[in-house]
Structure 1
Amino acid sequence: MKPPTPKPIRQVVTVFLEHQGKILLVRRSQRVGSYQGRWSGISGYLEDPTPLAQALREIQEETGLKGADVTLLKSGPPLSVDDPDSPVLWKVHPFLFLVEHPETIRLNWENTRLCWVALSALSDYSTVPALAQVYPL
């Protein structure tokens, strides 16, 4: 018997935006390629030369916030997330940014709703796989 073929690896960034001790969750639209309707951080495939550059790009694309509107607080080591329902192995590069003016956030087509939650409340939401484990502590 042949061993199973390993899943291809897809590198992504996940950005947590923090304001007054809470983090931003966004609800993924039906128009995105994966995990429609699930809550997540700001995320996207790694296409830019560095994960940090991609994180800043995703923040601007998905929220309208520019680099000057956010402050990097922390980045975590890449984490492998193996979702049994996905044909790929996710390698997630996590980031935590502070946002001072959340009222200026404007969601694009990738997400339909937003909410600010305590990290301890993540389990109350139907999130993308391993979202709490990806958080850069």
Structure 2
Amino acid sequence: MAAGSPERRHVVTAFLRHGDRVLLVRRSGRVGTYQGLWSGISGYLEDADPLDQARREVEEETGIPSAVPRLVSAAPPLEIEDAAVGRCWVVHPFLFEVDDPDAVRLDWENLELRWVRPADLGEYATVPALAEALAACLEREAAGG
């Protein structure tokens, strides 16, 4: 890494959708970054396929078995530089459909959840570029995958 270049970290963000709403979760004070902000289900990309990691994060953070949510779309990775934390996040966004929104049981990583319309995302203090990541998934869905 060149001097002054932000550290690059690959992460996954999984959006869960039920009907016309997507799940937002508010990050707890026990996570490493962006405590108190709203996000999708997310986590560091470990030594795994991004889709597999997204499914694992969904299961860990919501209690919904990884095989249950149906993959709707996978958008190309987005690069998001955040000078405040000295990182360039490479976000791998996914959109899943769930049948039972009441099945979500949050773990320690998140404090609360809300099912919101995508158009209302701007009303929440979110992690950087969350709306862009969701928009990329929705555009990919509209394009057929």
Q: TM-score range by the shorter chain?
A: over 0.9
* Matched residues, number: 135
The CA distance in 1 between the partners of 2:22 and 2:47, in whole Å, is 25
Q: Is 1:72 aligned with 2:71?
A: yes
Correspondences of 1:63-102 after superposition (within 5 Å): 63-102=62-101
- Structure 1 residue 58 corresponds to structure 2 residue 57: yes
**Superposed counterparts of 1:36-51, under 5 Å:** 36-51=35-50
**Alignment partner of 1:128: what SS?**
coil
Displacement of 1:42 in angstroms is 0.1
* 1:16-71 alpha-carbon deviations (Å, 9 max, x no partner): 00001100000000000000000000000001420000000000000001123210
Structure 1 segment 22-33 matched on structure 2, within 5 A: 22-33=21-32
Tell me the CA shift for residue 4 of structure 1.
5.2
CA distance in 2, matches of 1:123, 1:49: 32
Structure-1-length-normalised TM-score: 0.95
Structure 2: 5+ residue stretches without partners? 140-145
Q: 2 CA distance for matches of 1:103 and 1:48? A: 31
Query: Aligned partner of 1:106: which letter?
Result: R
Does 2:19 match 1:12?
no
Task: Tell me which amino acid in the other structure corresponds to 1:111.
Answer: N
TM superposition outliers: structure 1 runs of 4+ over 4 Å:
none
The answer (yes or no) to whether the contact 2:6–2:83 under 8 Å persists in 1 is: no
Residues in 1 aligned to 2:115 and 2:124: alpha-carbon distance in whole angstroms: 12
Secondary structure in structure 2 of the residue aligned to 1:65: coil
1:116 alignment partner AA:
W
Q: Aligned partners of 2:83 and 2:4: how far apart in 1?
A: 14
Unaligned runs of 5+ in 1: none
Q: How far apart in 2 are the matches of 1:83 and 1:107?
A: 27
Q: Residues of 1 paired with 2:66 and 2:42: CA distance? A: 16
Query: What is the CA–CA distance in structure 2 between the aligned matches of 1:48 and 1:19, rounded to whole Å?
Result: 30
- Given the two structures, how large is their TM-score scaled by the length of structure 2? 0.90
